[in-house]
Structure 1
Amino acid sequence: MGFNILITTAPFGNGHKMVATALKNAFINKGYNNVFVVDLFTEAHPTITETIKKAYIKSYDFGEAYSMLYYGSEKLTDKRIIEIYRNFGYKKLRDIAKSFKPDVIINTFPILASLKIKNESGENIPVFNIVTDFYVHKLWLSKEIDKFYIATEELQEELKKLNIPVEKTVVSGIPIREAFEEVESISMLYKKYRFKRNKKIVLINSGAFGVFKNIKKVCIELCKYKSIQVAVVCGNNTLQKSKLESLKLRNLKVFGFIENIDDLYKIACCMITKSGGITLSEALAVQLPLIIIKPVPGQEKENALYFEKKGAAIIANNSYQIINSTIELINSPSILNAMKNNMKKMYNKSSSFKIVEDVVETIEK
């Protein structure tokens, strides 16, 4: 079918690319094959991006700097510096638009909420934003944007207050991989990963401990409980993986990068993690109660507070609180169930599908 769809993404945080891919797949499933995903930052400024990326990762170590970058940029929204920030990659986008001729541009990262680009007939190409958090940073907002796909009804109310008309917002949820919505046999998954069926699984998303060097302590303490098995996902952090393996704890399983991480989400009884918007959406899809590690000021903090308020997560600020909250949760089936029910209510199913339907309908008008 004949639409050209351009999806922009960014290399900061691992989630944005996943959102872009989930969306691309949903378009292809619907018969729209001309979908182009571009990481504008890396394309436009490979060397600057590397530097920014390093600073971005580093900034997690000193929450203050990140907070300044985040809330600071919030305060600067009306100033000229933000315009420079917004236009980062704009020239590249214009060049791509010239050759690819998109009928629509979909952003999955706020800094790219850029100015209008015209097509060959001199008309503005529609620009849609997918907000990948449970909170809207002002960088997402611009009068130029034709539509916002957002996670919650509360956000719709917030945007109303910020003078974004309701007809420009769609409560779609945040796109995630389809695998999270597929039902699996739990006993098969226990077998596949060699977990004991009579023990509760605590999943630890070790990326969260970038902020937090006490992962070893948490593993040791939790593994003292015979009724618990701990699964830690280290991603590409091979050093951390080998350090944890060398603890030789009987009820600890350490994974590197795992393609089907949704499997572990489905058999865990709770997860210790940080509060990136995409991780939280994945947890909602399988109703996996959360212990959120000390969120850094900025969108992670806003996400965490929202989940806590909704009764879907517990925020823990140090290793002592993480261990205690985890044990308390595991020993309270009624609290775990209440959290699962709250998550069920919060979850927006088939988010990518909703967005694709709406995009197509809007362009066809």
Structure 2
Amino acid sequence: MRKKRVMLLSEGFGSGHNQAAYALAASLRRLCPGISTRVFELGKFLNPRIGPLIVSAYRKTVSKQPKVVGLMYRSNYEKSLNRFTQLALHRMFYTHTSQVISQLKPDAIICTHPVPNAVVGRLKRLGLNTPLYTVITDYDAHGSWINQEVNKFLVSTTVVRDKLVDRGVAPSRIEVTGIPVHPDFWTRGDRQEGLRHFGLKDMPTVLVMGGGWGLLYEDELLEYMTQWRDKVQLIFCVGQNEKVQEEMQSNPIFNHPNIRIMGFTREISKLMDIADVLVTKPGGMTCTEGMSKGIPMLFYHPIPGQEEENCEYFVRNGFGEVLDSKATIDKWFTMIQEHQTAEQFRSQLLARRNQQYDPAACTQAVLRFLQ
């Protein structure tokens, strides 16, 4: 009997969609080694010249004009991708999608972005019989995710489920599983081992992340954190933004033994094990990883739209706080000076996580579908 095959399709409009696909693929192989998985960033794979240019343009808009992104998000909030848009996308980027599917013969297709979700939906209307599962990677339900050909929506919370139901999706086609994270985030690792691994000091530590694109804005609050550098170890992760990394490394404010500036890394899980507080933009994946680790989070500069909804969810449920003043920094940076207090708070967050979120639930749901 051949292995079950799962094709996971994403797009590069924000790193979280790809992260979710790779996390789910790794989790499926972890829980069931007999499964074969393939992940595709579909536009980049099928059109390697034009696809990255569109993603680059989107990235520049996010960094330079986030309000425009928010306006676009809100103006189309209730709308699914219409048939004309689906057809145009298919002809522009995905004319070979059906050929790829025919060649790989997957037993299931999982989409972690609305665009490939719409394209596969169109193929299903044209006769494709492969089950389509859609993982919504935020704590909101934008209309672009909705597709009548989806066999099952896997969503983060009951709030997202209810929003889909309000838009006509049958409850039987929705399962609340939480957003998938890589198995490395399922449990908290050994802090001392992580400190040794990175060559860091055993002292209160704050991890500052700008997302996969490294969108760290010039912000007085981020610079204010450096005033704590004699008492707090600061780790700045700027992702793939080499320009920001070079600017920070050449800035005397960040030149201190207790400050580490890092570019892209695949070891965020280990860094979260070390950190006492996570300062981050409220992307759905990063926040879910932080929640899974039980680390308190401070959210800065949410992009208007889904990041605002993500931020609201985690603040409302006690996993974080909006970083809107120097007083907020002083409050949290003072609290983590008391190691026992910080550990007790983290234990409380892990208990709260266990009540609301099972990191393996999404993967287990997919395995049930494949039986």
Residues of 2 paired with 1:210 and 1:260: CA distance?
19
C-alpha separation in 2, matches of 1:336 and 1:69? 41
Query: Aligned with 1:113: secondary structure?
Result: helix
* TM-score when normalising by structure 2: 0.85
Q: What amino acid is aligned across from residue 72 of structure 1 in structure 2?
A: S
Deviations 1:60-96, CA, capped at 9 Å, x for gaps: 2211221233223325537555445664644332121
2:37 pairs with 1:31: no
Q: Which structure 2 residues correspond to residues 343-354 of structure 1 after superposition, within 5 A? A: 344-346=351-353, 348-351=357-360, 354=361
Deviation at 1:4, TM superposition (A): 2.6
| Structure 2 partner of 1:277 | 284
Identify the residue that residue 21 of structure 2 maps to in structure 1. Answer: 20
Q: Deviations for 1:321-365, whole angstroms, at most 9, x for unmatched residues?
A: 2x43122123246799668635642452233xx33433343344x
Measured in 2, the distance between the counterparts of 1:234 and 1:113 equals 30
Q: Does the C-alpha gap of structure 1 residues 342 and 158 become closer, same or farther in structure 2, counting only changes over 3 Å? A: farther
Structure-2 change in CA distance of 1:144 and 1:325 (3 Å): same
Q: Which amino acid aligns with 2:28?
A: F
Matches within 5 A, 1:172-211: 172-197=177-202, 199-207=203-211, 210=215
The one-letter amino acid paired with 1:40 is L
Partner residue, 2:42: 40
TM-superposed deviation, 1:187:
2.3
Which of 63, 68, 71 pairs up with 2:66?
A: 63
Matched, 1:170 2:178: no
Which of 329, 332, 340 is the matching residue for 1:326? 329
Q: Structure 1 vs Structure 2: percent identity of aligned residues?
A: 21
* Residue 262, structure 1, aligned to residue 266, structure 2: no
Partner residue in 2 for 1:313: 320
SS at match of 1:307: helix
Structure 1 residue 152: deviation in Å?
A: 1.4
1:311 and 1:36 mapped to 2: Cα distance? Answer: 36
For residues 217-241 of structure 1, the C-alpha deviation after alignment (integer angstroms, 9 at most, x for no partner) is: 6245433453212111122333333
TM-score normalised by length of structure 1: 0.86
Shift of 1:288: 1.3
> How far apart are the structure 1 equivalents of 2:179 and 2:206?
25
* Gap runs ≥5 in structure 1: none
Which has the larger displacement, 161-170 or 292-301?
Answer: 161-170
8 Å CA contact 1:8–1:40 kept in 2: the answer is yes
Partner of 1:142: 147
Which range moves more in the overlay, 233-242 or 331-340? Answer: 331-340
Distance 1:158 1:75 in 2: 10
CA contact (8 A) 1:116 1:124 kept: no
Q: Contact 1:269–1:330 at 8 Å: present in 2 too?
A: no
Aligned-residue CA RMSD (Å): 2.9
Count residues in correspondence: 355
Q: CA deviation at 1:118?
A: 5.1
